[in-house]
Structure 1
């Protein structure tokens, strides 16, 4: 069964009703269960679980330390292009946002790499808009061949590709791919993606299957919190993760939980999520799945990130620029969204150490994963 078929078996409205009807007894059962199920996850993200935030946080921290020790991996995004052929209501790169576009050249990319390496990074996340005529597979091939010698780990967050295209990129050093569904609510998905290839809900939904079939080492999932009911969207993210782990068991997985941030188009969130609710979600994911990596970006505030690295987060960005050329080439070019935590990587590393954790700039060598 494909995930598209698994997804079709679940009604959004039914799932939402089940989450909101969970009781304190359901939450207590989930906290003490020897192995958590998707029903337990519904309880952990339900309104009833708000009263159990402290025991959830303690358990989440305990499970994270048991699996990941006292380490927090550091990564940084490298934006290659703001060109995009999609219209997305929440993104500064949207086609209908009339701004100057640019795609970095080989020489410009290496200037950005020099600055990023000077910060100490060994893990870089390549990011682009979705413009198949400009930032296509051949462009990605050139970029990977150019920057691969400079980094221990290269990830990508670009437009979804076909299986054979991923198979071409993996031997060139592509380690991880992040692909966010944005929302699993099909009607709202169409509303937020009225034009472009991204408007194809099912093609995006099936991207993790294509990645798994291609043999990617790690993939990242998530939704943009604020587009729809965060509890229901998070359940479908957990459902997707559950399916993928069973189907592509050799692949590692990460989750992100970005909240809608201001950008030049000014979309207001349909659903607000409080800091306490985001803590609840982070803890719920960890209690549900002890193996998944949880990532927190500079979208969140200093205070929130200082607190959450002790609750289940295993990966964190720092010093991020969300515009192509933002580190060296053109610092004032269009940002995809505004960041909140503007501390330098050195300041973040110091904060991590002060909290009793160890910042990790490089957590693997290529030779160690050849037989995975």
Structure 2
């Protein structure tokens, strides 16, 4: 076993994978005071170089409360976000196929002993119908989600469900990439999951704080902290080099969670040469039959939540930040400028929710944004963003370290921006309402005009092909 000690952190790296010694993090947080403005501005200057921030850099920035310094922090996050992602914003939808679960998580409606939720695992025919509805809305990528059932055949069900989603064709559309959020697997089973052609494997630790983790996970395989926290090690060992992390903010002190998350990221970078492809930032929301969700143990107010998004953008500038429909439309708008690069839209969080249009029945948590995909697109284009349904990188092998090798020098824009343009043009022609199409065409023209010469040439050529009837044009 190798132990790597920094001034304020300890990473324990063994053959099993990541583990966390949290005492040094708490010790440093306990000694934090209002940071010096010169130090804060020096850190913000460092972030503007787009090289990210160290763990030690985050703690004084977390303590910023002065309105002027906080405004500068937010402005720096916006600079970093727009320097790397421009005005491009990736859209997707979750597809819940099952709410059967063997775990007892006190904050979740899917918990095993919750009698207020009707259990359901969709048949393959039902999954196909849900997929058709998402395609008719205009979606090209989905996040497949299932309760963490540990039945012997559960992975077979997931693999069959992925194949079903990929197999659905509806008019000119199809789902081109399935990302997955399911229970931790063995290394061998992760290899099977990779063989299904998924994009990103996503898993949330929920909380990195050991005591809190034990207090809120009361039964099932999920009680094993290390089995869960080392899932990404096993996934990457199996060849799944596009993985997503996340914290459920509201369970423990958000400052500790942020430092622990960054420690996990640095471990992945050191061990595998690449960190997570995405980071999700959900806050604890009310859930049927889950009293803890009504009163979060460590609630995160809106200003702190915006600070979390901004700090993550400064710390890991090339990692996608995901914002779900847990948050209200107004708050989601604010996060777009601070670092969020991917959002869900038109979401349902219950199995069969798209077919039945039951927004809350059997849902995992309450939604804050109930707007349709078209309404979200009209809103974000009004704000100057261009939606992207691109899946080109996955299908051309630009994942993991290969993606980051293009992202760090800024070369990925030459691929992602034209792909965003062509996929948005598809949406405007095939699915948009007349008002959204008119507004979107104007936004798309401005987006292409703002690209570099090479990317703009590709974008205009690709968009022209779409307008001539071609689909799935990407580079």
User: With structure 1 as the length reference, what TM-score do the two structures score?
Assistant: 0.94
Q: CA deviation at 1:162?
A: 0.9
Structure 1 residue 255 corresponds to structure 2 residue 255? no
Q: Name which of 263, 272, 280 aligns with 2:307.
A: 280
Within-5 A mapping of 1:1-372: 1=2, 4-5=12-13, 7-11=19-23, 12-19=25-32, 22-33=35-46, 34=49, 35=51, 36-48=53-65, 52-98=69-115, 99-133=117-151, 136-149=154-167, 150-250=174-274, 252-264=276-288, 265-267=290-292, 268-329=295-356, 331=358, 333-364=361-392, 366-369=394-397, 372=402
Q: CA deviation at 1:37?
A: 1.3
Distance 1:182-1:23 versus aligned 2 partners, 3 A rule: farther
Aligned residues: 372
Moved more, 147-156 or 269-278: 147-156
Q: Show structure 2 runs of 5+ residues with no match.
A: 4-10, 168-173, 403-475
Distance 1:350-1:343 versus aligned 2 partners, 3 A rule: same
2:235–2:241 contact (8 Å) kept in structure 1: no
Q: CA deviation at 1:250?
A: 5.0
2:323–2:342 contact (8 Å) kept in structure 1: yes
Render the CA deviation track for 1:316-355: whole Å, top value 9, x for unaligned. Answer: 0111101000000573641100000111100111111111
1:91–1:337 contact (8 Å) kept in structure 2: yes
Q: CA deviation at 1:22?
A: 4.8
Q: Show structure 1 runs of 5+ residues with no match.
A: none
Higher relative contact order (CA 8 A, sep 6+): 1
Q: Larger Rg: 1 or 2? A: 2
SS in 1 for 2:354: coil
Distance 1:271-1:23 versus aligned 2 partners, 3 A rule: farther
Q: CA deviation at 1:362?
A: 2.2
CA distance in 2, matches of 1:51, 1:330: 45
Render the CA deviation track for 1:203-261: whole Å, top value 9, x for unaligned. Answer: 01101111111121421111111111011111111111122123223565211111110
SS in 1 for 2:255: helix
1:77–1:126 contact (8 Å) kept in structure 2: yes
1:180–1:223 contact (8 Å) kept in structure 2: yes
Q: CA deviation at 1:111?
A: 0.7
1:4–1:206 contact (8 Å) kept in structure 2: no
1:19–1:45 contact (8 Å) kept in structure 2: no
CA distance in 2, matches of 1:223, 1:50: 26
